[in-house]
Structure 1
Amino acid sequence: MRKNILTSICIGLLAGSLSGCLQDKGYTDLINAEGAQPIVSIFGGDGGNKVLGVDFSDKAIATTLFNVNLGSPQKLTQDITVTIGVNPDLLKGTSYELLPTSTYTIPATQLTIKAGTRDVPFVVNLTTSKIDLKKSYALPLTITGANGAIIASNLKDAVFAIKVNNIYAGKYQSTGKFDHPTAGPRDINREKTLTTIDATTSETEFADLGSAATMQLTVNADNTVKLVPGGTASAATVQFGVNTYDPATKTFTLSYKYAGAGGDRVITETIKKK
């Protein structure tokens, strides 16, 4: 599913943002002025540069990226045909690679805004399991043609950086115990977020030590879990006992420890998806 679209028309997340947007007054004049020429554009906040968050899936997911809008003083009595094309030039100067064609299909590059209407959705079918989560991909799109209207030159482009969430990503509740050798034990009861590293690995907060201390959790084929410390977490951290992931309850069960002054800091916690 589509999630967490982060941008506006004028402020881009990628390097090399589009040129400035139509001023509000200009757009109002376009709609209301008599004799104004019909104009098509990528509507509202769906243009420009943005991050598209989608779930990991081995099935093609139909995703509406934006609506193509028709601006005119009155609704038209004839259909308008709009053509959308992939435009790799929009990625020049960015750190993004062009999304491989093997990972998506576009059901229709020619869209019809029916007579009497103003909008038509642009849809892409994404097969996210085919996307290499270790790479930074983007899908750059441009309105390349419009039969019966002109194209808004500064509202015709959209660049979608693709952020794939693996099946473990999301909000979790962590409960457990942090046993300190000198300060004594303390309870862990906090919300944690797991973010995607790759298809089987996610990153989250290490114990209850704050966002600077992290750990990566890799779920193996047998649902055992490998824990790797990161950030300010102790590089000497080791696991003990059985560390597992239960796909039925979406729960990580973890036991790990690291040495420090006075002895080992021992953590046992369960991290359950909300």
Structure 2
Amino acid sequence: MKKQLITLLCAGTLLSGLSGCLNDKGYTDLINAENAQPVVSIFGGQSGSKVLGVDLSTTPVDTKLFDVNLGSPSKLGQDVTVTIAVDPNLLKGTTYELLPTNTYSIPATQVVIKAGQRDVPFSVKFNTSLIDLKKSYALPLTITSANGAVVATNLKDVVFGIKVNNIYAGKYQATGTFTHPTAGPRAINREKTLATIDATTSETEFADLGGSGWTMQLKINADNTVTLIPTGSSNTSTKQSGVNKYDPASKTFTLNYSYPGAGGDRVVTETITRK
């Protein structure tokens, strides 16, 4: 199956490559295990390749990754033990590096589907504070064996690209004013997304010019002042023109900045508040 990446942040999203997998072996066959052969698989659209968003934390975060499913005509009267392992070979042909072993732990590489049950969760503990946010890491996992059942060869692998979110990442509402030296002021009232750059820096659209490729990074300093760094197509001469700060209580950025252009400076005042 192609390693096309999708986001895991939208719960229930199916893999774009899933239909191709189901052509190999019908999903009904996996659930009902036709021919009376119990089949173990990573449940439905939870297999394949995806990006996993995990929050930055100084303590290990226990994260459920997927369910291991047992398909059979009827529920079995005995336990089925399923073994799961890290498989670096799944990263061949991708741009990902293997997630370093010191950044995660697997509480149990074997999961037991108890007699009479269909599914059991598989979890990993991520030490996200040890992950280098500037690198592209992935955790590739595969079902290697199952006692008392066969392994579905086309629904046994999953590759999780790891995206660590700092505490500022998420959806915000921006309001304010963009004042042009000749065209006058216009209101800013739009939703913005802050994406993680590192533990204290996030990136979002510059004023209301995100559609033109203008972006900015907001770095929160130790005293909660904010350093604004123009990125993308933004004017590199952008400068602070008032107070730039972050209020952790209200989760609000207060920004005042400007950049030069024909006719004079373009001046922006805005507040960006967590939704």
TM-score, normalised to structure 1's length?
Answer: 0.91
Listed as ranges, the matches of 1:194-205 within 5 Å are 194-205=194-205
Cα contact 2:216–2:234 (8 A) shared by 1: yes
C-alpha distance in structure 1 between counterparts of 2:13 and 2:93, whole Å: 19
Listed as ranges, the matches of 1:69-108 within 5 Å are 69-108=69-108
Cα contact 2:31–2:70 (8 A) shared by 1: no
Q: Percent identity, aligned pairs only?
A: 72
What is the match of residue 45 of structure 2? 45
Deviation at 1:127, TM superposition (A): 2.0
Listed as ranges, the matches of 1:32-181 within 5 Å are 32=32, 35-181=35-181
Equivalent position SS for 2:45: helix
C-alpha distance in structure 2 between counterparts of 1:246 and 1:42, whole Å: 43
1:105 partner letter: S
Cα contact 2:43–2:68 (8 A) shared by 1: yes
1:73 partner letter: P
Q: Using a 3 Å threshold, how does the CA distance of structure 1 residues 189 and 75 change in structure 2: closer, same or farther?
A: same
C-alpha distance in structure 2 between counterparts of 1:117 and 1:99, whole Å: 32
What's the C-alpha RMSD, in Å, of the aligned pairs?
2.1
C-alpha distance in structure 2 between counterparts of 1:162 and 1:5, whole Å: 16
2:37 partner letter: Q
1:269 partner letter: E
Equivalent position SS for 1:90: helix
Please say if 1:248 is aligned against 2:254.
no
1:236 partner letter: S
Q: Using a 3 Å threshold, how does the CA distance of structure 1 residues 67 and 34 change in structure 2: closer, same or farther?
A: closer
Cα contact 2:32–2:71 (8 A) shared by 1: no
In structure 2, runs of 5+ residues without a counterpart are 1-7
Correspondence for 1:11 among 9, 13, 17: 17
Q: Using a 3 Å threshold, how does the CA distance of structure 1 residues 32 and 175 change in structure 2: closer, same or farther?
A: closer
Q: Using a 3 Å threshold, how does the CA distance of structure 1 residues 77 and 161 change in structure 2: closer, same or farther?
A: same
Deviation at 1:30, TM superposition (A): 5.0
TM-score, normalised to structure 2's length?
Answer: 0.91
C-alpha distance in structure 2 between counterparts of 1:264 and 1:250, whole Å: 29
Cα contact 1:176–1:189 (8 A) shared by 2: yes
Cα contact 2:166–2:198 (8 A) shared by 1: yes
2:235 partner letter: S
What is the match of residue 235 of structure 2? 234
What is the match of residue 3 of structure 2? none
1:39 partner letter: V
C-alpha distance in structure 2 between counterparts of 1:105 and 1:34, whole Å: 36
